[in-house]
Amino acid sequence: MSWQSRIISGPLRYLLKPFLKHVFDPRHAAQVDLLPYVLRHPPYLRYWHRPGGLTWINTGPCLPNAAILYFHGGAYISGSVEGYLGPLGLLSQMTGVEVCAVSYRLAPEHRFPAAFEDARAAWDRLADLGYRPQDIVLGGDSAGGGLAMALLAALCEEGTPPAAAFAFSPWTDLALTGESLELNAEVDPVLPVTRMAEVVELYLGDHDPRDPHASPLYATYPGCPPVFLQYGEHEILRDDSHRLAERLRDFGGVVSEDVVPEMPHVWQLFDGYLPEARESLVRTAEFVQASFADRSR
């Protein structure tokens, strides 16, 4: 653990986590979106919005006919593409692949399955633009990582899987059955487990939390492409990633797990602050580049 991580962990543990734990309504926390003001932007960042809630992001020339279809986090009740422009611009720079970020609808105004429907619509939009399944890598973090995995499962069922998929600390089990929710409740520096059920209710309402479109841990993955999962050893969502990896392997998937100790939830966003963020993004970029290396043209 770097000295930078040790410094940042204090404010996260003693300021952010108590705020999330004691805020009267989780929706109030969702309104405090500081990411656009905190996360760093790489030089020459370019982005533009297109129909269907898609934002295309790059920092220069990119591999033709290739895209990373990315879903931001925020527990399905918060977050925005605008807050992720910096990290996604850096990811595009490091991979040499353009990122297509999805502005999906948020709860409670738009409950499940709105987010999944928007994810599927984004995939269909890329198909309309001429992208083949092997031209696309799915990605996401936290709730967006779960959304990416839910879309992956649907595409595998249809026999049209993407080239690959990756996720940072994905939330894959809205039934909240992972042991790490209890085991890591105190050591997780960011997420308060006591509010998780409220967020699930805001998103799902009375829907089954084991619906594969909401909780990809319970989905099936025939013909699964390579998947790369990064998550923290001390996160309450640790088991959401580890159990998903085992589920994917049950269907013959080749899964790489990158488990990092003592890191806060979705530390990959904090490049320029945490050296571990850059190290993790480098490994992600290598995975994405390898996923496109052998595709037929």
The residues carrying an active-site annotation are 142, 235, 265
Please give the single-letter amino acid code of residue 122: A
C-alpha angle with apex 115: 111 to 121, nearest 5 degrees? 135
* 8 Å CB contact between 140 and 72: yes
Residues 68 and 157: their CA atoms lie apart, in Å, by 21
* 8 Å CB contact between 76 and 107: yes
Burial class (CB in 10 A: 0-12, 13-18, 19+), 37: exposed
Residue 155 structure tokens: 């595409």
Residues 132 and 161: their CA atoms lie apart, in Å, by 10
Of 225, 53, 25, nearest to 133 by C-alpha is 225
